[in-house]
Amino acid sequence: MKGYADAHCDTAVKLFEKGGALRKNGLQLDLERMAAFPGSLQVFALWLDPKYYPIALRQTMKYLAFYKKELERNRDLIRPVFTYEDILENQKEGRLSALLSLEGGEALEGETAVLEVFYELGVRMMTLTWNYRNQIADGVLDGETGGGLTPFGKSVIRKMEELGMAVDVSHLSDAGFYDVAKCTEGPFLASHSNARALCAHPRNLSDDQLRILRERDGFVGLNFYPAFVAEKNEVTQEGLFRQLYHLVEKAGEDHVGLGSDFDGIDRTPADLRQVEEMASFLERMEKEFGRETAAKLRQENLLAVLGRILK
């Protein structure tokens, strides 16, 4: 089975909170099932429930320690990656790759120096906000204010580009998205967002935003959550492919890929409920788009944008 690259899952945090092991569990993703796709890359996000915001840094460090221990226990299957070359080396050896992301900048607690520490600990991507305002910017559900980046947020963006850390605009307000486009010099990405033209949820991106990601050599990852696919509780792969075709049309076939949101979502497409069912989705992708374009969407585009960002 061919490998793939997925820009977002919440498995590590869910395991920490609910109990369980990364190697084998009853969640939507584990390593034994993912190993059927050798050479795959999974971005593991550390998400904070808002109840932890008063202790954001402390709680994130607990998650990070758990993540590191789980990877060390499973070195036969997966290795952490910090550079583009690390990903290529794992692919060559048929191993899985794990890239670490923060979902929301609450853990920085207003200090760019903390961002540098997280970088040293292996974080290579950060979703700037979750759904609500933090010290960096407003989230997508801050509808009354709809503000963009704060002065601190702009300093965070500058530091992330200096370090070689991917700036992720999923969950960010529209104003924040456009501020990121103005403030960044290199590419940025939306790790797990869909097209608003097909599903009018604020978590999705407008066609204009998709155009900007294309022009900036960025990336958007298809989210599997039904409410972001078609404003329904029940969808199938048909809905995912409608989204995928639109994303490709507006962002370009070189800038679209996967951002499943596995274990961060309580509902999935009826025929894509967990990682092993990725096989049928990837097979259909090749039939729909052809081998060359499907390879880009399956894996190559996310790897390419990381190659342009990571140092």
> Which pLDDT score is estimated for 1?
75
* Structural tokens at position 38: 């050798």
Q: What is the pLDDT of residue 290?
A: 98
E-strand ranges in 49-141 read 78-80, 96-103, 123-127
Q: Is the pTM of this model over 0.95?
A: yes
- pLDDT in the model for residue 240: 98
So what's the pLDDT on residue 232? Answer: 78
pLDDT the model gives residue 255: 98
pLDDT in tens, the chain (311 residues): 799 999 999 999 999 999 999 999 999 999 999 999 999 999 999 999 999 999 999 999 999 999 999 999 999 999 999 999 999 999 999 999 999 999 999 999 999 999 999 999 999 999 999 999 999 999 999 867 779 999 999 999 999 999 999 999 999 999 999 999 999 999 999 999 999 999 999 999 999 999 999 999 999 999 999 999 998 789 999 999 999 999 999 999 999 999 999 999 999 999 999 999 999 999 999 999 999 999 999 999 999 999 999 98
Rounded Cα distance between 49 and 118, Å, is 19
User: What superfamily would CATH give domain 5-309?
Assistant: Metal-dependent hydrolases (3.20.20.140)
Q: Which residues are paired to 126 by β-bridges?
A: 102, 167
Domain boundaries, the chain: 5-309
Cβ-based burial of 255 (10 A; exposed 0-12, middle 13-18, buried ≥19): buried
Alpha-carbon span 224 to 235, nearest angstrom:
9
Beta bridge partners of 258: 6, 222
User: In terms of DSSP bridges, do strands 219-222 and 96-103 run parallel, antiparallel, or are they unpaired?
Assistant: unpaired
What is the Cα–Cα distance from 287 to 15, expressed in whole angstroms? Answer: 35
pLDDT value at residue 13: 98
Residue 102: strand pairing partners: 46, 126
